[in-house]
Amino acid sequence: MQGTILKSTGSWYTVIADNGEKLECRIKGKVRLEGIKATNPVAVGDRVEISLETATISAILPRKNYIIRKATKLSKQSHVIAANIDRAYLLVTLAFPKTSTGFMDRFLATAEAYRIPVTILFNKMDIYTEEGKEEVGRLKKIYETIGYECHLISALEKKGLAFLKEEMKGRISLVSGHSGVGKSAFINSLEEGLGLKTGELSEAHAKGMHTTTYAEMFALSNGGYVIDTPGIKEFGMFDVQKNELSHFFPEIFAKARECKFSTCLHVNEPKCAVIAAVEAGEIAASRYYTYLGIMTGEELDKEYDN
């Protein structure tokens, strides 16, 4: 029998079998060790072979894709956030808490690397000042110019969400972002009765308090599934070669064809078309500095002026 992982907590996995039955499973030891370099051998969204009689996972089926990041404390290991994703939704807030462009860009680059389309949702539009709304508009223009779909929403007031009903139909969707950006409120707005716990902000740091401690997949009445992920403080890209990094920044990759040298890394090489485009304002400085940060290993959560 085959099934899909809905939740992973420690050594137990909640699986929905293809016959609709839900069961708590453990994974066979040999499966856990076979070629698995990630801290979690099985991720939410994985398709698996299971035994209904023994409630064990005997095999992990090939993944269509997955999204991965550096493990929090073990930088040489990875953590698979979720697998077999049709689309990711990155929730972004400009205040309470503030999402940096560095975080956004590393998430987007990772999704590009694993061929996962991303929609950016600028949440909490109900609380921004006019100045804040102008800043949202500026960022929206940057990312739409690159080719990313962007929407302005208020999960709390359920505004700007109508397009999602059809878009998520029959698909597996991932929702990600910092703690406090409104992921649980957003998912609650998609489906009545889910009742995910929503959190409060830390007054001292204007950062979200964790309300989700592990990824979990929920069924939607339109036949789709949505994956709620823990709030991510930092997003470190994993196992990316320097000569491949530009491939995951679409606007840099497009401009790189005009560089004098085919081996150009766009750091300090002469006649680099990418650097010239940044200086001319054709490529956002914030995006380029995130690229440089990853290239040099300084994957810091910084904010840059454009």
Architecture of domain 2-62: Beta Barrel (2.40)
SS3 (DSSP) at 224: coil
The segment(s) of the chain belonging to CATH 2.40.50.140 are 2-62
Provide the CATH topology of domain 68-228.
Rossmann fold (3.40.50)
The segment(s) of the chain belonging to CATH 1.10.40.50 are 242-296
DSSP string covering 8-32, please?
EETTEEEEEETTS-EEEEEE-HHHH
* 28-56: pLDDT as tens digits: 876 654 555 667 778 999 999 999 889 99
SS3 (DSSP) at 104: helix
Q: The tokens 């929503």 sit on which residue?
A: 198
* Lowest-confidence pick of 106-120, 191-205, 288-302: 191-205
For the whole model, what pTM was predicted? Answer: 0.87
The segment(s) of the chain belonging to CATH 3.40.50.300 are 68-228
Please report which residue ranges of 114-227 form alpha helices under DSSP H.
130-146, 164-167, 183-190
CATH class of the structural domain 242-296? mainly alpha
pLDDT at residue 242 above 90?
no
Q: How far apart are CA 147 and CA 152, in angstroms?
A: 16
Q: What is the pLDDT of residue 139?
A: 97
